[in-house]
Amino acid sequence: MDNIDLEVMRTAQRWLQQERRLVLGTLVRTWGSAPRPPGSLMVIRDDGQVAGSVSGGCIEDDLIARVGAGELALHCPETTTYGSTAEESRRFGLPCGGSVQIVLEPLHEGSKIIPLLEALEQRIRVCRTLDMRSGQVTLASVDDGERVAFDGRTLRTVHGPTLRLLIIGGGHLSRYLATMALMLDYHVVVCEPRLEYHEGWETLPGVELSTLMPDDQVQAMHLDASSAVVGLTHDPKLDDLALMEALQTPAFYVGAIGSRLNNARRRERLLEFGVSAEQSRLLRGPVGLRLGGLTPPEIAMSIMAEMTAVRRGIDLNQPLNDWSGSRTLCAAA
């Protein structure tokens, strides 16, 4: 399971090796509602083949036609804007009068796609800086920072995993959750000190298997506001160790599997280990949205759905099927 940047860059490199003319599009700004977030990537081949997306399908056809006709980014990077008028918004299907600005750059050997790919495959975060006048690219490692910054002279994009998920336990459910998290561009760490649960994890590329005790693993990861922790062992000796540390970090999501009664008891136990009453109320348990799921894949989906909702600031006390006021593409369609 590749993150989106890796998939687009791999395709670009393969096409460059075929000596095709390519243009890389990067979404740098949005106004109003927009289908894709800043930093979204799209590579366009000279014959109209594409990888990635900058608008969820609204403007891709026009970009392909303009690149194919040689109108855009032939020799140096340039910008283009869609939705600057109400007529354009209607024409391209941009929701709610939204506008988007895209940087288009011709790709070549100096675009440094290969070293960027090497870093992404090692799950290293990299800052790629493009000089709009010269087209020169520089790469630098980075620990944090906004995904995209554009001032008209330089384009700064951060690539690689920004989200982290620590899963406690290496059981069946953990495998499904890890697989789904990889698809959503999480760096996944599975903490499993029990050797009998280690078999098969080597067949899931992109997942880091740790044998540390859960509390030690939480401390070693220095969890931040882009981190999530889920306890899935049903064993208080393991789950609680992780939770009592994780709830005292800025992690945006901390949850544990189990019934309402078991999680109530868990909160009481955590109070005995230095977790405050306010912190214990942040524990999400039973973990996941109540979707009626019974199988491990269904339960994993409900957990990822809740994690996504929390990360996006959705009020889970409101009906989740109420799209009124939503700024997403699906709601506007």
CATH number of the domain residue 171 falls in: 3.40.50.720
Q: Residue length, the chain?
A: 333
Nearest to 167 by CA among 242, 115, 100, 117: 242
Same structural domain for residues 60 and 81?
Answer: yes
| 76: containing domain | 4-159
Q: Judge if 143 and 21 occupy the same domain.
A: yes
Q: Helix/strand/coil (H, E, C) string of 253-274?
A: EEEECCCHHHHHHHHHHHHCCC
- Measuring CA to CA, how many Å separate 290 from each of 233, 235, 311, 331? 20, 22, 18, 22
- Same domain for 140 and 182, yes or no, is no
Residue 57 phi/psi, 5-degree rounding, is: 110, -5
Residues 177 and 230 sit within 8 Å (Cβ to Cβ): yes
110, 133, 159: which is the final residue of a domain? 159
Residue 146 and residue 49 share a domain: yes
Q: Is 292 helix (H, G, I), strand (E, B) or coil?
A: coil
What are the CA-CA distances from residue 78 to residues 8, 127, 138, 230 (Å)?
20, 20, 18, 44
Q: What is the pTM of this model?
A: 0.63
Per-residue pLDDT of the chain (333 residues; tens, 9 = 90+): 346 777 888 999 999 999 898 999 999 988 765 567 788 899 999 888 999 888 766 688 888 888 878 777 678 899 988 875 555 544 544 544 567 899 999 999 889 999 999 888 777 788 999 999 999 999 998 866 667 899 999 999 988 767 899 999 999 999 999 999 988 888 899 999 999 889 888 888 879 999 999 999 999 988 888 899 999 998 888 988 899 999 989 999 999 998 889 888 888 888 888 888 888 888 888 899 988 888 999 999 999 999 999 988 877 877 777 666 555 443 433
The reply to whether 132 and 19 lie within a common domain is yes
Clarify whether residues 139 and 196 are in a common domain: no
Number of domains the chain contains: 2
The residues near 85 (Cβ < 8 Å, ≥ 6 apart) are none
Q: Do 118 and 217 lie in a common domain?
A: no
Query: Phi/psi of residue 318, each to 5°?
Result: -100, 155
Same domain, 193 and 285: yes
Q: Do 179 and 154 share a structural domain?
A: no
Residue 175 placed within a domain: yes
